[in-house]
Structure 1
């Protein structure tokens, strides 16, 4: 079972192999591929730093314990009709995305995210809506 915070559910949709460091990318790619290949993998929704934050590099600002990020997590979980402490499979999370999220939501809930300008998260939501699941990371 993986422990994930709210906004990382969206980050996984847009993940294309980029990240803050090599160690972070390897960790994110491993999780992404696991969920892509086995959508029955269980996820525990947590408040605050999760298993992706564990590999955030020591250099620069550690935003994993930032109140603004916690607020983004809460907004995303509320949008998806999910709660901290829930355990769901990745395929159940995808179902919540299909029911409650549209691509344009990224522009609002992730307004201050530095990755938003790439447009990959909206694309990821469209992939989920089209039943394609997570995109293969090349």
Structure 2
């Protein structure tokens, strides 16, 4: 099985500590974090993904807004620049130790955070990065390379 993630959720997963928009959203994301930590691959998708599921149909849902689509484009560009592989829709990524370490180091340095601009969660994520990513729920064990260059 694979976890379907939109590009900006490649950044969000780096700092997820069990907080979210609603209880259903948070419980769903905790299950996804466990799947990623167990080594399930990621397939990058366009639009709402597995994380968005509980929010679909909610009043004020932002999953389809232009600002979120822009956030996805910025995140995809940043991840591609960092890793040197495609991070757009259809790309496959393995959340290995190497992948998470490289992504978290770049996130902490701010070099892949253009997509986080104006995100309501940015202050929380900044604090988590400053703390050394303590208590994050997406962790990984050693495994194959982080990305499928195909």
Residues 49-68 of structure 1 aligned to structure 2 (within 5 Å): 49-56=48-55, 58-68=57-67
Q: Which runs of 4+ in 1 moved over 4 A?
A: none
Q: Which residue of 2 aligns with 1:43?
A: 42
Residue deviations 1:71-130 (CA, integer Å, cap 9, x gap):
11111111111221111211274366268x342246533111001112347618x54xxx
Residue deviations 1:12-59 (CA, integer Å, cap 9, x gap):
1111111111111110001112222x2x31111001100111111644
User: Any idea what SS the aligned residue of 1:48 has?
Assistant: coil
RMSD between aligned alpha carbons? 2.8
Where in structure 1 are there 5+ consecutive unaligned residues?
none
Aligned residues: 129
TM-score, normalization: structure 1?
A: 0.77
TM-score, normalization: structure 2?
A: 0.72
C-alpha distance in 1 between matches for 2:115 and 2:79 = 12
Residues 98-137 of structure 1 aligned to structure 2 (within 5 Å): 101-103=106-108, 104-105=110-111, 108-120=114-126, 123=129, 127=133, 135-136=136-137
User: Any idea what SS the aligned residue of 1:3 has?
Assistant: strand
Report the CA distance shift for 1:4/1:77 in structure 2 as closer, same or farther (over 3 A). same
Contact 1:15 1:121 in 2 (8 A): no
Contact 1:10 1:121 in 2 (8 A): no
| Greater fraction of residues in helix | 1
C-alpha distance in 2 between matches for 1:84 and 1:75 = 13
